[in-house]
Chains A and B, each alone.
Chain A
Amino acid sequence: MTTKSASAEITTTDIGVTAKRRLGVAEILAWSSRNGVFVFTALLIIAALLFVDGFASLYNVTDVFHRAAPVGIVAVGMTFVVISGNYLDLSVVAQVATAGVILIAVSNTHGIFIAIVAALMAAILFALVNGIAVGVFKANAVIVTLATTFIGLGVLRYFSGGSIFFGPPDGIIKAFGVGKVGPIPYSAIVLLVMTILLSILLNRTNFGFLIRSFGVNESATRLGGSNTALIVIGAFLVTAIAAMVAGFVLAAFSNTAVSNDGVGYDFRALAAIIVGGTSVFGGRGSVFRTLLGVIFVSVLTNILVLSGISFGYQQIALGALIVFAVSLDAIGRKVAR
């Protein structure tokens, strides 16, 4: 009798131990997928400072800011689509290029105010097409935005003829593009302001709450009495406006615009978002995390460039980074369950 109870006790403690151990693994994985970016970014910057020649120079830091800004602005905007559980918006490629070309080309002929209004109209059109197809027709966001990328780029190339547009050498666009506060270019300040604004939108408003709620459970959000189509359209609208701002910043940086400007932005923005710890499964994430992810990806790219590593290897590294970060998230969820 006593032996029986003793063995029973042992097994229960065994179970307790294994359960605890499992919880430990789950916690580590979940923690590193959520907060790993803080550690990794810090480690990466320290390593770069120590081992990479030319990283710590003022010129290079300004350059990192310059390059990070447009991608970062796209990424903080696209965070809304990812949190709403719609994977991503591939059409930012077309949106960035469209905004840049419209800004330069239209302001050359009609003035900058009309150019900005025209670019805004284009952004709203993108958001409406994407948002209605995904939100009302419940179509797959990846395929929809793949289609709108090609439509948008096709329209842009048709009207621009694929040519490069140059802004006036002494205009306001040029002045903005080269302007700096100390070592920090205006573009980086725009990124910071966008991050703060979108963070407030996500965390402090009803709309932001609904985006999260929709990302966690679509049906429950609908049954709660919300218009889910408007939530999805809103998420795509935030992304489109951010992509427009990114297009402006990018065009101002070089004072030129061409229809290939946005190539690769979809992918780098997604890498930043996922590395920041925003879940592609929807519902979880934040805009500040995306900013951190942007810094991580930009510093990583900068290190690769400074070390003379070719474009091919950079692509492999970013692709692997995305798959690795999502794997961490997925395994963490699996073990936790």
Chain B
Amino acid sequence: MSEILELSDAKSKGFLGRAGTVIGRRTEGRGIALLSVILVIVALTEPLVFTAYSVTLGRIALIGIVALGLTAVILMGELDLSVASTLALSGVVMASVPELWLGILAALATGLIVGLINAFFVSVVGINSFIATLGMLFALRGLAFVISDEAPVSLVNKEAGISFGEPLIGPLTPRVLIFILVFIAIQIFVSKAQAGREFFAVGGNRQAARDAGIPVTRRIVTGFMISGFVAALAGIINSLERTTADPTAGSTVLLTAFAAAIIGGNYLKGGRGSIVGTLIGAAALGVLQVALTISGVQIPVQQIFIGAILLIAVTTDPNSLRSVRGSIRTLRQGRAKNSVTT
């Protein structure tokens, strides 16, 4: 009832009112705030970040591509910690197949299979996705070590790797183009396709989604397969650009990708969030990382920055702030009651 009132209220308020309601429903607020703060500070102190925009775009693409895949899973209230190892494993798989195209196909298939296994444990067996994908994180890392014989594998076709790092259209390298394509594909899937829109329902209230006839298990399988596929894509890009596949790759990408998705307003319990938000989060972190690197900040300090941003992001989502307000209120009420009784 109150919601109907609010909506009609917004209608009567005209354009500004309607814009207000739309903005109130969006989740990207924190991401935009962080991005604009970072952009202003960087523009003032380290404008080189924007002159060397191809470097910055490449960094954003690397963070963003994994974060986009993660978002598909987070929208359903699940987590996929295994992406870091999927990235390393798919790179190693690709490098150990002599034919480049076959290698890429094998790597993508690896990502899909990993997603399928994750989804099996989460939706059929019913394990918490944090624990299931944490187990997979270590098992897949082990597998990458076994396949690569615990050493980086060089690509057979080094020329392909080198040409892959060069700009293709204008200043855009294939990495950035793939990132843009993945962004458009997932954005269209989540906002226009029925299956994608149902992700929000599955994340918001799983039982209600099931009762409404949404095939929840199938949606979860789709989500984990998207995240596995995209992580494999990132692994392929990474190994192509470096012309070697490193079995230890991807452990810092995990943290940054999570930070990007969470800053972008994707609510970890599912149901709220957006792909655009993830893009904004990735842009903020990418610009920050490049700026820190250019101004000569050491890697450990960069880790502190990213870790602190992730910590702030995960503790300032609306739900967290509400629960803090709630506990402050109970504290106050408890005090008031005590003072009355005494």
Chain A interface residues (CB < 8 Å from chain B): 87-88, 129, 133, 136-140, 142-144, 146-151, 153-158, 162, 229, 267, 270, 274, 280-281, 310-320, 322-323, 326-327, 330-331, 333-334
Query: Are A280 and B131 within 8 A (Cβ)?
Result: yes
Q: Which of A154, A311, A323 contacts B121 (CB 8 A)?
A: A323
Q: Which of B141, B308, B327 contacts A315 (CB 8 A)?
A: B141
Task: Find residues 100-156 in chain B having any chain A CB closer than 8 Å to their own CB.
Answer: 121, 125-128, 130-132, 134-147, 150
- The CA-CA distance from A87 to B133 in the complex, in Å, is 13
A-B contact count (CB 8 A): 162
- The CA-CA distance from A313 to B145 in the complex, in Å, is 8
Query: Are B300 and A147 within 8 A (Cβ)?
Result: no
- The CA-CA distance from A229 to B328 in the complex, in Å, is 11
Query: Are B262 and A143 within 8 A (Cβ)?
Result: yes
Query: Are B315 and A139 within 8 A (Cβ)?
Result: yes
Seed contacts A147-B307, A153-B300; 6 additional CB < 8 Å A-B pairs? A87-B131, A133-B311, A137-B324, A142-B81, A143-B262, A318-B138
- The CA-CA distance from A79 to B264 in the complex, in Å, is 33
The chain A residue with its CB closest to the CB of B320 is A137
**Shortest Cβ-Cβ A-B pairs, 9 listed:** A319-B139, A315-B142, A312-B145, A150-B307, A154-B303, A312-B146, A154-B304, A157-B300, A316-B142
- The CA-CA distance from A196 to B140 in the complex, in Å, is 36
Given the known inter-chain contacts A154-B300, A270-B134, A314-B142, please indicate yes or no for A149 contacting B323, CB distance below 8 A.
no
Given the known inter-chain contacts A326-B131, A330-B127, please indicate yes or no for A147 contacting B314, CB distance below 8 A.
yes
Q: B289-312 CB contact bits vs A (8 Å, 1 = yes)?
A: 000000000111111101110110
B-side binding surface: helix, strand, loop or mixed?
Answer: helix
Query: Are A323 and B139 within 8 A (Cβ)?
Result: yes
Query: Are B301 and A154 within 8 A (Cβ)?
Result: yes
The chain A residue with its CB closest to the CB of B306 is A150
Residue numbers in B under 8 Å from A162 (CB-CB): 300
Shortest distance between the CB of A123 and any CB in chain B (Å)? 18
Residue numbers in B under 8 Å from A280 (CB-CB): 127-128, 131
Task: Find residues 172-220 in chain B having any chain A CB closer than 8 Å to their own CB.
Answer: none
Residue numbers in A under 8 Å from B131 (CB-CB): 87-88, 274, 280, 322-323, 326
Given the known inter-chain contacts A155-B304, A319-B140, please indicate yes or no for A327 contacting B314, CB distance below 8 A.
no
Shortest distance between the CB of A137 and any CB in chain B (Å)? 4
The chain A residue with its CB closest to the CB of B79 is A142
The chain A residue with its CB closest to the CB of B117 is A323
In the complex, B279 has a CB within 8 A of chain A:
no
In the complex, B258 has a CB within 8 A of chain A:
yes
In the complex, B319 has a CB within 8 A of chain A:
yes
Query: Are A319 and B135 within 8 A (Cβ)?
Result: yes
Residue numbers in A under 8 Å from B299 (CB-CB): 157
The chain B residue with its CB closest to the CB of A129 is B311
Chain B interface residues (CB < 8 Å from chain A): 79, 81, 121, 125-128, 130-132, 134-147, 150, 254-255, 258-259, 262, 268, 298-304, 306-308, 310-311, 314-317, 319-321, 323-324, 327
Query: Are A136 and B327 within 8 A (Cβ)?
Result: yes
Residue numbers in A under 8 Å from B146 (CB-CB): 310, 312-313, 316
Given the known inter-chain contacts A158-B300, A311-B145, A312-B146, please indicate yes or no for A144 contacting B314, CB distance below 8 A.
yes
Shortest distance between the CB of A174 and any CB in chain B (Å)? 29
Question: Can you give 13 A-B contacts (C-beta < 8 A)?
Answer: A137-B314, A143-B258, A146-B254, A151-B304, A153-B300, A154-B301, A154-B302, A155-B300, A267-B134, A280-B127, A310-B150, A316-B143, A319-B140
Residue numbers in A under 8 Å from B262 (CB-CB): 143
Query: Are A315 and B314 within 8 A (Cβ)?
Result: no
Residue numbers in B under 8 Å from A267 (CB-CB): 134, 138
Shortest distance between the CB of A135 and any CB in chain B (Å)? 9
- The CA-CA distance from A197 to B154 in the complex, in Å, is 52
Query: Are A320 and B300 within 8 A (Cβ)?
Result: no
- The CA-CA distance from A142 to B144 in the complex, in Å, is 24
Query: Are A140 and B301 within 8 A (Cβ)?
Result: no
Shortest distance between the CB of B84 and any CB in chain A (Å)? 11
Query: Are A87 and B127 within 8 A (Cβ)?
Result: no
Shortest distance between the CB of A176 and any CB in chain B (Å)? 30
Shortest distance between the CB of A304 and any CB in chain B (Å)? 11
- The CA-CA distance from A274 to B127 in the complex, in Å, is 12
Q: Which of B142, B150, B308 contacts A319 (CB 8 A)?
A: B142
Residue numbers in A under 8 Å from B304 (CB-CB): 150-151, 154-155, 158
Residue numbers in B under 8 Å from A142 (CB-CB): 79, 81, 130, 134
Query: Are B310 and A143 within 8 A (Cβ)?
Result: yes
Residue numbers in B under 8 Å from A153 (CB-CB): 300, 303
Query: Are A322 and B258 within 8 A (Cβ)?
Result: no
Shortest distance between the CB of B196 and any CB in chain A (Å)? 24
Query: Are A327 and B138 within 8 A (Cβ)?
Result: no
The chain A residue with its CB closest to the CB of B309 is A147
- The CA-CA distance from A156 to B298 in the complex, in Å, is 13
Query: Are B127 and A138 within 8 A (Cβ)?
Result: no
Query: Are A320 and B127 within 8 A (Cβ)?
Result: no
Residue numbers in A under 8 Å from B310 (CB-CB): 143, 146-147, 150
Query: Are A312 and B144 within 8 A (Cβ)?
Result: yes
Q: Which of B139, B255, B319 contacts A320 (CB 8 A)?
A: B139
- The CA-CA distance from A312 to B147 in the complex, in Å, is 9
Residue numbers in B under 8 Å from A87 (CB-CB): 128, 130-131
- The CA-CA distance from A146 to B307 in the complex, in Å, is 8
Query: Are A147 and B308 within 8 A (Cβ)?
Result: yes
Query: Are B125 and A327 within 8 A (Cβ)?
Result: yes
Query: Are B311 and A312 within 8 A (Cβ)?
Result: no
Shortest distance between the CB of B80 and any CB in chain A (Å)? 11
- The CA-CA distance from A6 to B128 in the complex, in Å, is 46
Q: Which of B126, B139, B144, B311 contacts A331 (CB 8 A)?
A: B126
Residue numbers in B under 8 Å from A310 (CB-CB): 145-146, 150
- The CA-CA distance from A144 to B323 in the complex, in Å, is 16
- The CA-CA distance from A319 to B121 in the complex, in Å, is 13
The chain A residue with its CB closest to the CB of B269 is A140
